[in-house]
């Protein structure tokens, strides 16, 4: 299934703002080793810090790095948010096919499939005190096959990403009606998904970003770029 968001897979590209920042070529000197630590796309040798790629040099917190102008492939790692489709439900575990996400010129690629362990529901997925009882009850349904979800890699185990959906942003971000296949709408007050066509209501752990692709994109952008800062 293709996810209904344009920043998924290889189709989306954010404009890179090149202003007064320094454009460098591989081998260009970024500075002295005593001034800067070599960070992303940079290395230190003989007292100097050099660029390894064609891109824009950035200097912050004593680090020199280069934001590459060509596409960079990054592996989806622990702590990163992911988008995926629930592909099967075997009772205690939901399996999730994780999609590639492109942010700027970075393509985030999964190296594993994902799973959500259901029975640890409340504790693991954090249906906390802030939630009203009804909401808690609804969220126990978690999500169903075919739902598109936003989750976070909690750990990597046996070649699987174990996903958590603790945050309010995590959960179902797109769903189709089980009965008629129409797009489900989020019904604010009742915290349910609702089908305008056949009037069916469905429950689950619904993301606060449900049906808001631009906000989902901003969320991923912010989270993934934060991850890169290290």
CA-to-CA distance for 16 and 33, rounded, in angstroms? 28
**With respect to Zn ion, which residue has the nearer C-beta, 182 or 225?**
182
| Residues numbered 89-118 forming contacts with Zn ion, rule: CB under 5 A | none
Minimum CB distance to Zn ion smaller for 32 or for 180? 180
Q: What is the nearest approach in angstroms of Zn ion to the Cβ of residue 176?
A: 8
Applying CB under 5 A, among 75, 122, 179, 187 the residue interacting with Zn ion is: 179
Specify the residue, 32 or 182, whose C-beta has the smaller distance to Zn ion. 182
| Cβ-contact 88, 230 below 8 angstroms | no
List, in order, residues 6 or more apart from 28 with CB less than 8 Å away: 50, 51, 57
Where b means 16+ CB within 10 Å and e means fewer, 114-148 reads: bbbebeebeebbbbeeeeeeebeebbeebbbeebb
Residues 197-216 that bind Zn ion (CB under 5 A): 197-198, 200
Query: Under a CB-based contact definition with an 8 Å cutoff, are residues 48 and 82 in contact?
Result: no
Calculate the alpha carbon distances from 129 to 136, 138, 213 in Å. 9, 15, 28
* From candidates 64, 103, 172, 177, binder to Zn ion by CB under 5 A: 177
Closest CB 195 distance from Zn ion, rounded Å: 3
Alpha helices (H) along the chain: 121-125, 133-139, 213-228
Q: Which of residues 58-77 bind Zn ion (CB under 5 A)?
A: none
CB of 201 to Zn ion, least distance (A): 10
Q: What is the per-residue binding string for Zn ion in 180-199, x denoting contact by CB under 5 A?
A: x-x------------x-xx-
For the CB of residue 174, give the shortest distance to Zn ion in the complex, in Å: 15
CB of 172 to Zn ion, least distance (A): 16
Instruction: Quote the CA–CA distance of 201 and 116 in Å, as a whole number.
Output: 23
Site size with Zn ion, rule: CB under 5 A: 8
Residues forming the site for Zn ion (CB under 5 A): 177, 179-180, 182, 195, 197-198, 200
């Amino acid at each position: 299934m293709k996810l209904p968001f344009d920043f998924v897979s290889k189709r989306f590209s954010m404009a890179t703002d090149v202003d007064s920042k320094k454009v460098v070529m591989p081998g260009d000197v970024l500075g002295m080793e005593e001034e800067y630590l070599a960070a992303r796309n940079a290395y230190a040798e003989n007292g100097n810090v050099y660029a390894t790629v064609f891109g824009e040099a950035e200097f912050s917190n004593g680090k020199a790095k280069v934001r590459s102008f060509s596409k960079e492939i990054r592996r989806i790692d622990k702590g990163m948010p992911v988008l995926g489709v629930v592909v099967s439900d075997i009772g205690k575990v939901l399996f999730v096919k994780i999609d590639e996400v492109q942010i700027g010129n970075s393509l985030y690629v999964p190296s594993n499939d994902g799973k959500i362990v259901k029975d640890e529901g409340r504790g693991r997925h954090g249906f906390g005190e802030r939630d009203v009882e009804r909401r808690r009850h609804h969220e126990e349904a978690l999500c169903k096959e075919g739902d598109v979800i936003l989750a976070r890699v909690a750990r990597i185990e046996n070649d699987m990403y174990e996903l958590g959906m603790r945050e309010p942003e995590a959960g179902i971000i797109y769903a189709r009606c089980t009965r008629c296949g129409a797009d489900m709408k989020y019904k604010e007050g009742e915290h349910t998904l609702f089908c305008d066509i056949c009037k069916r209501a469905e429950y689950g752990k619904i993301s606060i970003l449900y049906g808001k692709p631009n906000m989902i994109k901003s969320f991923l952008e912010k989270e993934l770029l934060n991850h890169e800062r290290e």
